[in-house]
Amino acid sequence: MTKVYIILLNYNGWRDTQECLESVIKLDYPNYQIIVVDNLSPNDSMSHLIAWAKGEELSTVDNVDLAHLSTPHCKKPVEFVLYDKQTALNGGNTVKETLLKNPIIFIQAGENRGFAAGNNIGTQFALKKNDADYIWYLNNDTVIQSNTLTEYINKAAVYKSNGQKVGIIGGKLMYYHHPKLIQSVGGMYSKWFAKTQNLGVFEKDEGQFDNEATLKKISYPIGACMLVDIDFIKNTGMMSEEYFLYFEELDWVYRGRMKNWSIGYCWEAKVFHKEGGSIGTGNKNNKNSMLSDFYGNKNRMRFTCKFNKKFIVFVWLSMLVVSINRIRSGEFKKLMNIIGIMFGKKSL
């Protein structure tokens, strides 16, 4: 049976991670290995995650309407192995893992170098094992239905049986606090202004995106939930670490496309996402945090310079519009970041 590594990246979100783990353990697909990478959370997240695994702490639920996805709590203790970064990169301790029954692999990265770098530690661990076909990257601030991974594997099998070279398969993200509303079924990208947009955002899910034709509108799967073929990673390389935050998925898709890989979409894989708790993004009415605003705009320029240089003038001009908007809203610290980005200076 196809084996899957499930990688969760944690940064200051141990409560979310505990709830997510409870839902993951309820998967009806039997052959998976959980990896949790912590990007050196200042709030000592790892000690809380270990306390949860030992049964010393119980996970909490933020939306009672989704409580059935993470409760009742799984039997404790949950066996685990804790590695530092270097031990993980060397493949861990196979003997120790064999002695335990499908333990959770906790990895302390020892630093915070961003989304891609944290996930890549887990990826390198999985590649070192050389015993799986897919890696499922799942945000820690999500909960999932028990059939989610089964649906992913079934869709991957369909693509393979059709002779399609699909490297990354996205799912359907729903708002955790409004579980009938779609957050995204995939990202759309405009080369002209390097703007990204979620397809389906805030729409009620009535099956309008439950078809393969939706793929024609999608530029990239959302990194909060994507199943990635190991062969794609070996052929294309891991996620680019140059962005720190945002644009990693689009970069991966572009690099894969150069080697004839395409993307897929599994609408049956429904994931409920709290969205951006660790980076300060919020709901429809909230402004982005300084961190989110900085990297969201900086990486528009970075990605364009890397893949679409002929559009850089238009992107630069669009940043002028962003600057004007920051003045109008009185967000002068963010304005200074935008100016720094436009003229190649470090900000934030």
Q: Tell me the domain boundaries of the chain.
A: 4-273, 290-342
- pLDDT score of 276: 60
Q: pLDDT tens digits for 126-166?
A: 999 999 999 999 999 999 999 999 999 999 999 999 999 99
pTM of the predicted protein model? 0.93
Mean local confidence (pLDDT), 24-30: 97
In sequence order, which ranges of the chain are alpha helices (DSSP H)?
Answer: 14-25, 45-54, 85-89, 94-99, 115-129, 148-161, 230-236, 248-257, 290-307, 312-328, 332-342
- pLDDT score of 284: 44
| Among the four given CATH numbers 3.90.700.10, 2.60.120.620, 3.90.550.60, 3.30.930.10, the one describing domain 4-273 | 3.90.550.60
Q: pLDDT tens digits for 251-298?
A: 999 999 999 999 999 999 999 999 765 454 544 444 678 888 888 889
Residues whose CB falls within 8 Å of the CB of residue 273, separated by 6 or more in sequence, listed in order: 139, 141, 142, 173, 174, 175, 176, 183, 224, 225
- pLDDT score of 337: 85
Q: pLDDT tens digits for 78-112?
A: 999 999 999 999 999 999 999 998 899 999 999 99
- pLDDT score of 288: 73
Q: pLDDT tens digits for 223-238?
A: 999 999 999 999 999 9
- pLDDT score of 282: 47
- pLDDT score of 321: 87
More reliable by pLDDT, 292 or 308: 308
Q: How confident is the model at residue 336 (pLDDT cuts 50, 70, 90)?
A: confident
